[in-house]
Copies of this chain bind each other. A is one copy, B any other.
Amino acid sequence: MGEFDLIARYFTRPTPRAALGVGDDCALLQPAPGTQLAISSDMLVEGRHFFADVDPAALGHKALAVNLSDLAACGATPMAFTLALALPGVNETWLQGFSQGLLALADAHGCELVGGDTTQGPLNICITVFGEVPVVHGKSQALLRSGARAGDDVYVSGTLGDARLALEALRGHIALPAELLAKARQRLERPTPRVALGQALRGVASAALDISDGLLGDLQHLLKASGVGATLDTSIAIHLLADCAHTACGKDLISFENRLELVLAGGDDYELAFTAPVSARQAVQAAARQADTPVTRIGCIDAEPGLRLQDAEGQHLSGAFASFDHFA
């Protein structure tokens, strides 16, 4: 199968919203008047971001999900994406699964595949995603990392830790019963981008970002961009522990320290961390209900730079919870 047949068979779909989709030198998008275009790009490499034997449908899902998560963090409404794909060879079973997983998530978010590239090479998936953000009275409604202010609350969506739990089990570092691993693996391989929550938080949150490299590490990017610090209550944060990790803890399969580490530095969760003024607490809960996504308030923003962890008694913990850095 040639490159053009491959694109035609697996990656060419109607694009009713885009002015022009796959098949020309460029795709054409026409953002609505008075909107900004939010853009994010993520590259997934075999052995680094996924195992060679991963279900191709899950991989297709994840490749788009991690990009949609960036749009969510910005409060953008998904519009379209491009897919650049390097493949070692043409494996139609793989392509069928991959495109099915990819396009099912795309359809669920009304995000059209408008173009890209296909070539031969070590497996590499690069998706660039486009979303719309309204501009109201000349002011962009995009959620940025830089808007947190001293006194704001700090929130996290959903739950944390199951993706890393699965990763550690797949790496052979911990043993999990098959059923528990299968469930945790879903969180690792099929993350849910918090797109609806991101949109609902426009005009409510003061700053936001997605947690792909671990809560503490990513939150520090937000603090740095905002020129502030934060104090988190670990006795509350621990309630963010995801189902499988909670079960594994109950069965003594992981220790208390590991449990806290999964929450604070697990990574690959694709939840949102965000800040909002105290006056917006009701609005935050309303946004969470509207998006059908739980959010937990875990701390507050301080004027003093740095990230501090407290236990229930207000005692400071020394945190050595490193974040994931692709070149560390």
Binding site for B on A (CB under 8 A): 1-4, 6, 19-20, 23-31, 33, 36-43, 45-49, 70-71, 73-74, 76, 80, 82-86, 90, 114-122, 124, 126, 128, 130-131, 133, 135, 140, 142, 144-146, 208-210, 225, 325-328
Contact = CB atoms under 8 A, between A and B. Distances in A.
Contacts of A122: 45, 121-122, 124
A159 to B, nearest CB: 20
B142 A26 contact: yes
Contact of A115 (B39, B120, B144): B39
A119 B36 contact: no
Contact of A117 (B20, B25, B41): B41
Given A39-B115, A40-B26, A121 B47 contact: yes
- The interface centre, meaning the residue of A33, A39, A48, A76 with most chain B CB atoms within 10 A of its CB, is A39
A131 B85 CA distance: 22
Contacts of A80: 39
B86 A327 contact: no
A306 to B, nearest CB: 17
A43 B124 contact: yes
24 contacts: A1-B327, A2-B325, A2-B327, A2-B328, A6-B327, A23-B145, A25-B73, A25-B145, A25-B210, A26-B73, A26-B74, A26-B76, A27-B39, A27-B40, A29-B37, A39-B114, A39-B130, A40-B82, A41-B82, A43-B85, A43-B126, A46-B121, A48-B120, A48-B121
